[in-house]
Every structure is written in structure tokens, then in C-alpha cells.
A and B are shown apart, each in its own frame.
Chain A
Amino acid sequence: MVGKAAKLQAGQRLLAAFRDAGAVEVAPDILLDAGTLLDLYGEDIRARAYVTTDPVRGEVVLRPDFTVPVVQMQMRDGAEPARYCYLGEVFRKQDHGDTRPDHPRDNEYLQAGFEIFARDPEADAEIFALFHRLLLPYGLSAAMGDMDILLDAIRALPVSDARRGALLHHVWRPIRFSRLLARYSRPAAPRNLSQTDAPWTGLRTGPQMEARIALLETQPDETPLPAIWADRLTRLFAVDAPAPEAVTALRGLADEIPQIAEAVDRLATRLDQIASRGVDPATIRFAASHGRETMEYYDGMTFTFAADHPDWPPVASGGRYDALTAQLGQGRAIPAVGGIIRPGLIAELEATC
């Protein structure tokens, strides 16, 4: 077991490296207002974060991650471009279902992070290469994904806007997504909703229900999605190979789905930029579905660095989250990419080296 002092030291070394890479250190609050986080993450956050009540501020939460407070700070009073770094604890409940594991994960642990807010086409490569360089001594496996490619492929589907919207919304929920895709691929049966004389109750209004029923009634008239499209998406989502091979596979798919060609080009450019920063792209595993398993706010590149310990979380993770800055920006938006390293796991790896 590595003590907290050693973990903090590992974190301070990472923080110093982030400062050397041009980042300004920031220190967000530990106690955050719960409203924004609850709206953003939904019920998941109550299962995972410590929510409590303050008599004056109302519901507050012990910082479950740094991204939201750093973005809020940037959108409130940050100049751009900006590079920030931070080091501090985050707090997560670990509720494991029916049986508790022998080695439960920590409820509080350190994160050292680096975030770039800039309209800079090389920012993705900069952050990936920086993390790669700092983590090189630990023999981790690097994996990358790109939500941009998946989202563009879904936008390309020949379906109604309502169906496209539902698929885009549920791309992070694989079972629901597959069921929707299967349903849209066959003719919809008329629903024959039964009438009811139950009195109206609740906040949802009659017109809101009628709007949904009107939409349901158009479904049997909609042309089913040709089977080739579910097949294309399945093959796209399954791409998982060393990055250069993955790019070749994606270019093949772009012949069938031309709407992803631009995003694939951006990925290829990013890999070139990463290579010119001294990282061999063949050592990066590119998995098209990587981003579907990460936070819902990532909408471009996603990445993780994992150790060879099956029950560990990734040692580092991050990605691009442009849409989140617009959501929290009250009318403003700025491209943003960032990531965190867990100094506690770095210290564990150093202790066993």
C-alpha cells in the first residue's frame, strides 16, 4: 500500500510538468453547487457523488470531477486561449450492486489535470502527446476514440429528424441504441393506443402527449432504414485496431458513408501531428466505440491510458468536450479538450517498479 503522502508527491510532479507545458494552475472549490452537475449527469451523479444540503446554498456536492468547475470558471471570466492545470481530491461513492468486491475502489482520490480552451487545430495532438510523454515510463496501453466520426455517421442515416435525434441522444447507451436501430430498420406497426377516461393528472400536458402521439402515428409511414445502414454502423462501431490500420478501415467505410470522410481526415491529421511530436501512432489502439464508454460530454477525440491491472480504472483519461462549454457558457462557447491523470495509481506503479 502506498501512502497518501507519496500519492500527493506524484501529483505535484505531474502538476509541475503541466505548468512547464504552459498551463496556469487553478484551484476550484471542493464544495460545488449541485444544480449544474445534477442537470448535466442526471441520476448517475446521485449514485456516484456525495450530495448534501447546506441551509443557505441548498444542495451541494463534494467535487466529483474538475471538468465542470474549470469550464464554469473559464466561461465566467476566462480569456482565451487558456491552458489550465490543477491537482486535488475528487470524491466518488462506490455502490457495487449485490456483492461488494474484495478490493473496493477508493472513495476519495487525487486527479491531476490539464485543460486547453483554444481554437487551435493542434490542441488534441498537444494534449495526447503531453500525456503520452509523462506516462511513458509506466508501460501503459494508450487507446483513442473519436465521437465525431460516430456522430457524423448517425447524422448521415436516411431517417426522419425525430429518429436521427433519438439515435444521437442515445449513442452512449448501447442497448437502447441497438434496439432503436433495429426498430427503425423494420416497418413500424400502428400502435392502436387505447382510449382512457382517466382524468388528467400531473405536469405533463395533454398537448404535449398529443404531439408525441402525432409523431408515433407518422412512424408506420416512414420508410424503414435499409439493412445496409445498420450493417455499416455495426462495422464502424466495431473498428478496433492499431491507429494506422484503423484509419485504413475507416477510409474504406467512408467510401460507403461519405459524410464521415471529413472526420476521418481530421483523425488522420491528428495522428500525423501526434507522430510529429514523437509518438508512433502504431502504438495507439484506436477503437471507434471508445467514446461510448466515457462521459457523455465528450463529443470529439477521447483517450485513455490503462495499466495491466484488470480491476483498475484507467490511469489517465480525457477528451474533447466542445458542446459542454456551450451548455455551460450561457451563449458563449469555446473549443475545449482536457484530461486527468490519477497520481495515486502512478504512485502504486512506481512502488512496484
Chain B
Amino acid sequence: MLKLGVPSKGRLMEDTFGWFADRGITLSRSGSDREYAGRVEGADLVLVLLSAGEIPRELAAGRIDLGVTGSDLVREKLAGWRSDVREIAPMGFGHADLVLAVPACWRDCETLDDFAAITRQFRSDHGFRLRIATKYHRLVRAFLSEAEVADYQLVDSQGATEGTVANLTAEAIADITSSGATLRANHLKVLPDALIHSSQATLFASLRADDAEVASFARRLNLPG
């Protein structure tokens, strides 16, 4: 029997439950709100509730066969993700863009080319590389390497990333945003041609799962397997 991993709380869990309900499968938490076990009606599935951030790793290891998580998390956390998982269906919610943002007061920074020039100027003015705060190290590095931006460094920020610029621990940030309100509140602006990844909640299958079982489940959802 296939094992499905779903985010264990919040909006993402509710939207996931709703998405499956629209396809005739009722997922619910068993017992109390605090118990991370689930119940399934309408399909032969085992439901496990996990932190969204752990779902990529569990899929890669084959401890779950199917999992719902952000496409950004799979790309960031699994080096060579296509060798571990495949996308069954984008689910149409949980939209968030991984963007590069700089101080709104930098009126000379309108494009990624401007940003590249500013990183070089910053390094010669300050004697160290311009710092970009992020938790998406691999995605940001791959994007900037592809764009041949060189004179920067990443600094790790696991939360409140928008505050790092005002705190002088970074000069720019790369983070997930949906409305941009937090960026604006922290006097930052998005570089329009530096969309690093456009993420949404996605149903993934582990490449370690049984192909036939996954295909038959996809048919059950009216999806191409």
C-alpha cells in the first residue's frame, strides 16, 4: 500500500486535504489535533503527517512513496532531485516566488546586470564580497552562477531574513515571497529579472516507489501517471 506524506499543519495541510477531497479522497487527522497520524477514506493509502521541510528527504529515502511539498524545497534539499523524485501534479496552491531583493533606496539597481555591477563596486569599496542572506543556498548559488554574477557571498539566514539588511548583516536577500508586503515593510524591492524559482505545492512520487502502484493511483486521480 502506498504511503502518502502531507504537511502536518496550517494552510498547506488544509489545502492539500481540499485538493484530495475534490478528487474523492478524504484525508483527515485521526484522533486529536496534536496527533500526527492520519485517516484515509476512498483510496488504499497510508497517510503520514510530516513537516513540509522533511518531505523531500523522506521521499528520496523511499520511506514515503508520495508526498506533497513545495517545489522549491525539493530543489533546494535534494542535490540531483530528478534522480530521487518525479512530479506527479502541480496542485495550484501554495504559490510563492523565490526572489532576489535589494534595498528600495538603491535607485541605480533595476536589473540583475545592475546588481552584478554593484556587487563588484561593493567589493572594491568595502574589501569584502556583497552579502546575500538566504536559506536557499543551492538554488540561489545555481541561479547566480548561471547568470555569471560573481562578486557576492551567501550568508545563512533561517528566519526574519528581511531584517538582515537593516541589521547590517547582509546587503541583499533571497527569500520566498507571495505578496511582497514584508519586503516593502523592510524597505526592500524585488529585482524583476531575478526570479529564482516560482514555487507551488506539488504532488511528488519517490523513484523508489512501485511504478505500477503509483501509475494506478495517478489514474485514480485522473492524472497522467
Contact = CB atoms under 8 A, between A and B. Distances in A.
Interface in B171-207: 171, 186-189
Most buried by A among B145, B150, B166, B168: B150
Contact of A212 (B105, B121, B137, B171): B121
B200 to A, nearest CB: 18
A7 to B, nearest CB: 26
Nearest to B169: A203
B107 A209 contact: yes
Contacts of B151: 42
Most buried by B among A175, A195, A201: A201
Contact of B122 (A95, A170, A204): A204
B22 interface: no
Contact of B129 (A42, A99, A194): A42
A173 interface: yes
B160 interface: no
A2 interface: no
Contacts of B128: 39
B3 interface: no
A43 B107 contact: no
B216 interface: no
Contact of A194 (B107, B125, B145, B187): B107
B20 interface: no
A114 B186 CA distance: 52
A183 to B, nearest CB: 9
B153 interface: yes
Interface in B107-132: 107-108, 110, 113, 116-118, 120-122, 125-126, 128-129
Interface string A167-205: 001100111100100000000000101111011111110
Contacts of A216: 108
A176 B116 contact: yes
Contacts of B90: none
Interface string B70-83: 00000100011111
A46 B108 contact: no
Nearest to B165: A202
B154 A208 contact: no
B209 interface: no
A38 interface: yes
B150 A42 contact: yes
Interface string B133-158: 00001100110110010111110000
Contacts of B113: 179
Contact of B141 (A39, A47, A179, A191): A47
Given A42-B153, A96-B79, A202-B171, A193 B110 contact: yes
Interface of A: 38-39, 42-44, 46-47, 95-100, 166, 169-170, 173-176, 179, 191, 193-196, 198-204, 206, 208-209, 211-213, 216
The 10 A-B residue pairs with the shortest CB-CB distance, nearest first, are A100-B80, A198-B104, A173-B148, A100-B83, A176-B148, A99-B82, A198-B105, A202-B165, A98-B82, A202-B103
Interface of B: 75, 79-83, 103-108, 110, 113, 116-118, 120-122, 125-126, 128-129, 137-138, 141-142, 144-145, 148, 150-154, 165-166, 168, 171, 186-189
